Structure 1
């Protein structure tokens, strides 16, 4: 079983030889397993021009050998459709268990040759293991259901169908959601009644234990695509992230595990959206290109002009079958788009690794990180099917590994903190807006899940408003606006906190803000909800819902304080706006 992470980073030559031998044996059952560094990483050469850092993996270790493979656990994939007859997925697909929103059938196989996303996500979760072909899933014996709402209208009714309302969703234990807002620069607008209309039926699924909903945090750290304005990212947002995970409404639900992405070096993937609502990190990697492959048919110098992260490892998984469809298709010469190139050694029917084109080595994004976590949850639920969604969340938070331990706060020239790095709360739990509680560790999570005593009755404070007698001017660091709510008779140990606030402070449309919004717990822990520098497509700093996840295991009782400062306001300068309201909901046990 898995030892502490530090021991995995300094492996002896003898240990490396044993791991290499074990991997060679595994390859006999799944030939591409050796390239799946997210499952077993001893620093081997994979797809990409850099090697992964040994030990940066999901910590599967011996679980599969002990037959902890997700058996009996059904995972719903809400995405583009999944190719349910794919040779490496078909045996794990529940017959007539999926749903096609376009034609009302049980076959969600994509008709669009470019719609490979759902098939790749499904393979990360539950590609069949030890069948002599291809790859292996994180939970290679879990069962799959596919709901193709991204190929359809992608509306709330379809989400509800796949989450709890449709007959095909009734036995889904884990719901993977590798999707998000099209333009993730808007703050949340959702009433308390609307929130309850989502969270209550989500909690009632799985016989009252609640389906475990896993959600991608987003891919908007470096830029945000806009149909009219192109790629958006103010220069001042470069260090804190263009968009924030709290901007995606569903990422703030109590029932949802929001997942950030780490790469093969154990650092934040270049694209991974940060935020106060991030819960844990999975492995999404980078882009998986190889210069030797890219340069063959590319314009002269093309590879050399690309950012270095393009050539760091991505995730190897299933693709739409054949060499015409999906991410891995035969190169078009001359290429019109980057997708027309062979990006690494796995691509095209000329590949010496696998010429079927049924697999791809360039899957990335929090879209890839989320299914790594969904697969780990399936392993946990096999080990203990009685875990509630709250139990699962708690176990993941308390067993995940702190990666990139030296992540520091981002400050301005005056030393004012714009965005925090790793912080340790009053209960001793380390949290980062980049990584949540850290990188999931399957062996630690399964070990903790086995025989886990349920958290018991939920204590919910309900929404409690601050009694703001007058608008609070938003000043500089020396004169912040503050509003406080006292919670009494609430949770002895916090599981989750949600807040809302309103202000009349104007924001510059599609530009970064100088405001920093923080929440301070009764124990004195400060969590940054909105970092100074983030960009928004709204007129004022006002939102109805944001999950602030840094306070697990602290006491829920006492004074909770919202603090808003203008980090660019000079001393003595007149404020541009006021904090007008604040509300909070604390959940725990």
Structure 2
């Protein structure tokens, strides 16, 4: 959607898909798993790409068959599906990024049990890309752990999906960065606080606007991998146009047409065709664009493993908003930002990089090495830093693909802490920033102490291709002097790579 109150997008700030499409690549043969609240499978612009195998976890209670994920709850997933797989070239509606890809849908968000999550993420081993435009509730600032079944499911899908080449798991980075307009300028959520988006095998996607600037709600994080495009508020400003859920009483979807529902959108600025909407946004809209790019890449090069794809996307990403202060040039010549990841997804560049690629192998050849320390060490209260040094040797990893840090502290309010990981070359990545936590799920005042750190995990993406051997330093500072005291009681660094 374009609004006259906002400037048009910047030329070249896009997914760079046109030349890929013109070369005949449209996602054919790539199967997407859409894990969401459901998808209207008989939507006119989605139906040609629906493959059998969708699962309705509400079957029996919503009046739909076990393979029909539509219904009144399927608003979000229907919009997501259109961004990936709306059928282009059919004189209808819109085109997804991979307009000839196929998809199956799982309405896990409509019945969110651990068992349903495992089924949605792993049951179909033919799925190329699992799109997950969800995570923990935004806006509390607190640390949120996923159940152990989640990590087991992702690890299983990486190892067993696509005949051992691995399913790609794409996750929205989260929309909780807002500050509540308080006197402080500290952001609320960080993508690294949400453990659904920081597994070493996932691709966490931040949101940027059509001029390359950060979407104000898009969460930062050392775990970010890529950025893709989204909108502002979708009412008076730019947003994404995609497929919409429809119901007989004009009461479903983001474009209900009457302006009186939970989505108060009138036809004065939405679309007259209620099967489509132009008001979708958030990192929920950014993630499926990356899923679409991966579908294009895997049509051309279906033998790429999940590790290959992740690294190709990093190497081919476009550095956007290049003057932004968050950009770091690493010792391995990658540009990385805890706002944009390695940059915005670029379909044509990814296919070019893949054309000469030598495989890294799949999960079976991924090396891991861990270092842990349980010595209690005090965090200074005078504003100076505690520096924990981990000397790594004999790891066998010469090129890191991801780093995980688990840390425990008895500090009564870890929201006061600032933490960073530093490599031997002194390049440093921020993994935790001072912030407030809130008493309610939607950035609700008043503030409260953040939950304690008990083997709280963080993921760090930016040290791609570094050797694991060397001296790594964890710098920890209490940014509020003279208040709560505390100690670091445990930390563990785990390196993944080759």
Per the TM superposition, whether the score is higher than 0.5 is: yes
Q: CA deviation at 1:543?
A: 3.9
C-alpha distance in structure 2 between counterparts of 1:188 and 1:340, whole Å: 31
Q: What do residues 430-455 of structure 1 show as CA deviations (whole Å, max 9, x unaligned)?
A: 11111111111111011112342112
**1:123 paired residue number:** 82
The answer on whether the counterparts of 1:187 and 1:543 sit within 8 Å (CA) in structure 2 is no
C-alpha distance in structure 2 between counterparts of 1:315 and 1:120, whole Å: 9
In structure 2, relative to structure 1, the CA distance for the partners of 1:248 and 1:478 (3 Å cut) is closer
**1:285 paired residue number:** 231
**1:412 paired residue number:** none
Q: Secondary structure at the match of 1:559?
A: strand
**1:314 paired residue number:** 239
The answer on whether the counterparts of 1:99 and 1:146 sit within 8 Å (CA) in structure 2 is yes
1:403 aligned onto 2:320: yes
Q: Superposed, which structure 2 residues align to 1:483-522 within 5 Å?
A: 483-507=389-413, 513-522=415-424
Of 488, 492, 495, which aligns to 1:583? 492
The answer on whether the counterparts of 2:176 and 2:189 sit within 8 Å (CA) in structure 1 is yes
Q: CA deviation at 1:212?
A: 0.2
Q: CA deviation at 1:312?
A: 2.7
In structure 2, relative to structure 1, the CA distance for the partners of 1:443 and 1:197 (3 Å cut) is closer
Q: Superposed, which structure 2 residues align to 1:47-196 within 5 Å?
A: 49-94=6-51, 96-103=52-59, 105-112=65-72, 115-152=74-111, 154-164=112-122, 166=123, 169-183=124-138, 185-189=141-145, 195=151
| Greater Cα shift, 102-111 or 439-448 | 102-111
**1:340 paired residue number:** 264
In structure 2, relative to structure 1, the CA distance for the partners of 1:269 and 1:191 (3 Å cut) is closer
Of 461, 470, 475, which aligns to 2:368? 461
**1:440 paired residue number:** 345
Q: CA deviation at 1:534?
A: 5.3
Of 551, 567, 570, which aligns to 2:479? 567
1:371 aligned onto 2:288: yes
Q: Secondary structure at the match of 1:533?
A: coil
Of 249, 272, 279, which aligns to 2:218? 272
In structure 2, relative to structure 1, the CA distance for the partners of 1:496 and 1:544 (3 Å cut) is same
Q: What do residues 495-514 of structure 1 show as CA deviations (whole Å, max 9, x unaligned)?
A: 10001011111117xxxx33
In structure 2, relative to structure 1, the CA distance for the partners of 1:265 and 1:343 (3 Å cut) is farther
Q: What do residues 429-484 of structure 1 show as CA deviations (whole Å, max 9, x unaligned)?
A: 1111111111111110111123421124744334320263x423334554424242
Q: What do residues 384-418 of structure 1 show as CA deviations (whole Å, max 9, x unaligned)?
A: 0011111111011111111112222xxxxxxxxxx
C-alpha distance in structure 2 between counterparts of 1:186 and 1:126, whole Å: 34
Q: CA deviation at 1:575?
A: 6.9
Q: What do residues 184-217 of structure 1 show as CA deviations (whole Å, max 9, x unaligned)?
A: 5332557999845642443222111110000001
| Greater Cα shift, 486-495 or 259-268 | 486-495
**2:456 paired residue number:** 544
Q: CA deviation at 1:487?
A: 4.0
Q: Superposed, which structure 2 residues align to 1:406-445 within 5 Å?
A: 406-408=323-325, 421-445=326-350
C-alpha distance in structure 1 between counterparts of 2:317 and 2:345, whole Å: 4
The answer on whether the counterparts of 1:463 and 1:585 sit within 8 Å (CA) in structure 2 is yes
The answer on whether the counterparts of 1:459 and 1:587 sit within 8 Å (CA) in structure 2 is yes
In structure 2, relative to structure 1, the CA distance for the partners of 1:324 and 1:505 (3 Å cut) is closer
Structural RMSD (CA): 2.5
C-alpha distance in structure 2 between counterparts of 1:426 and 1:85, whole Å: 50
Q: Structure 1 length as normaliser, TM-score?
A: 0.76
In structure 2, relative to structure 1, the CA distance for the partners of 1:325 and 1:540 (3 Å cut) is closer
The answer on whether the counterparts of 1:89 and 1:123 sit within 8 Å (CA) in structure 2 is yes
Q: Structure 2 length as normaliser, TM-score?
A: 0.89
The answer on whether the counterparts of 1:486 and 1:560 sit within 8 Å (CA) in structure 2 is yes
1:533 aligned onto 2:429: no
The answer on whether the counterparts of 1:388 and 1:454 sit within 8 Å (CA) in structure 2 is yes
Q: CA deviation at 1:324?
A: 4.0
- Count of residues paired in the alignment: 479
C-alpha distance in structure 1 between counterparts of 2:484 and 2:6, whole Å: 51
In structure 2, relative to structure 1, the CA distance for the partners of 1:246 and 1:330 (3 Å cut) is same
Q: What do residues 497-544 of structure 1 show as CA deviations (whole Å, max 9, x unaligned)?
A: 001011111117xxxx33101111233221110012354763434443
The answer on whether the counterparts of 2:41 and 2:70 sit within 8 Å (CA) in structure 1 is no
**2:207 paired residue number:** 261
1:472 aligned onto 2:472: no
C-alpha distance in structure 1 between counterparts of 2:360 and 2:31, whole Å: 23
Q: Could you list the runs of 5+ residues in structure 1 that have no partner in the other structure?
A: 1-34, 36-44, 224-231, 290-310, 348-354, 409-420
In structure 2, relative to structure 1, the CA distance for the partners of 1:344 and 1:588 (3 Å cut) is farther
Q: What do residues 222-252 of structure 1 show as CA deviations (whole Å, max 9, x unaligned)?
A: 15xxxxxxxx67543x35x210111221211
The answer on whether the counterparts of 1:98 and 1:107 sit within 8 Å (CA) in structure 2 is yes
Q: Secondary structure at the match of 1:163?
A: helix
Q: What do residues 38-90 of structure 1 show as CA deviations (whole Å, max 9, x unaligned)?
A: xxxxxxx5687432222221111211111110000000000011000000000
Q: Secondary structure at the match of 1:522?
A: coil
Based on CA coordinates, which of the two structures has the bigger radius of gyration? Answer: 1
Q: Secondary structure at the match of 1:62?
A: helix
In structure 2, relative to structure 1, the CA distance for the partners of 1:158 and 1:235 (3 Å cut) is farther
